[in-house]
Structure 1
Amino acid sequence: MAAQQSQSIQTLLEAEKEAAKVVQQARDYRVKKLKEARTQATKEIDDYRKYKEQEFAAFEASHAGNTQSAQVAIDKETEVKKGEIAQQYAQNKDAVVKKLLDRVTLVTPELHRNLTKVE
């Protein structure tokens, strides 16, 4: 009976060792699969980033002409407005200077409205 118990214990120990090997193999397999998944995810992220960068570059190139043409139109409009302002300045310059000089030189003395006459 002791021999049979010893044999059973030996069988259990061997089964435990075999189970430990299977568990270790499963852990190694899991680690390997996680590394593969991480590598694959990194590759997919890089591919997607490249795709979006190309898409943005195409969008930017297609709209760059619109920006330049809008800038040219704004510059032309600014030049026209500057010309109008210069023309109005030339027309009204003399009248403004005359009004300023009249205000300075033609003074009519008046009593202040808050001043009361003391009797």
Structure 2
Amino acid sequence: MAANRGGGIQQLLAAEQEAQHIVNAARTAKMARLKQAKEEAEKEIAEYRAQVERDFQRKVAESSGDSGANVKRLERETEAKISHLKAETEKISYDVVQMLLKHVTTVKN
């Protein structure tokens, strides 16, 4: 019976050692997968950052590259609006002056 007990202990020790190897292998695989996932995430972040930077640079180039054209366009639009306002003012200025004179010279009791 003592020999049987010694063999059972040896089996338990061997099973425990095998379980420890399995746990260690799983832990190593988990660490490797986490490292791989981190590297993949960093790569995706770098690609996204590069894409956003390219989009930003393109927009900056579009807005500043033809800023002279934008300035000229805005100047034309401003001049057109000023001319329109002056024309409207000339059309109604006589009527406004007459209305003001009427209200100023009218005496109410």
* TM surpasses 0.5: yes
- Residue 42 (structure 1) aligned to one of 26, 38, 42: 38
Cα shift at 1:55: 3.1
Q: TM-score, with normalisation over the residues of structure 2? A: 0.73
RMSD: 2.5
Which runs of 5 or more structure 2 residues have no equivalent in the other structure?
104-109
Seq. identity, %: 8
Instruction: Name 2:82's counterpart in structure 1.
Output: 86
> Partner residue of 1:105?
101
The structure whose Rg is larger is 1
Matches within 5 A, 1:55-94: 55-69=51-65, 72-94=68-90
Unaligned runs of at least 5 residues, structure 1? 108-119
Specify the alignment match of 2:15 in structure 1. 19
Residue number among 44, 47, 51 corresponding to 2:47 in the alignment: 51
What is the distance in 2 between the residues matched to 1:88 and 1:37? Answer: 70
How far the C-alpha of 1:15 sits from its partner, in A, is 0.5
What is the TM-score of this pair, normalised by structure 1?
A: 0.68
Aligned to 2:24: 28
Matched residue count: 103
Higher helix share: 2
In the other structure, the counterpart of 1:113 is: none
Map Cα deviations across residues 27-74 of structure 1 (whole Å, 9 max, x no partner): 111111101110111012112221232233234334432233465444
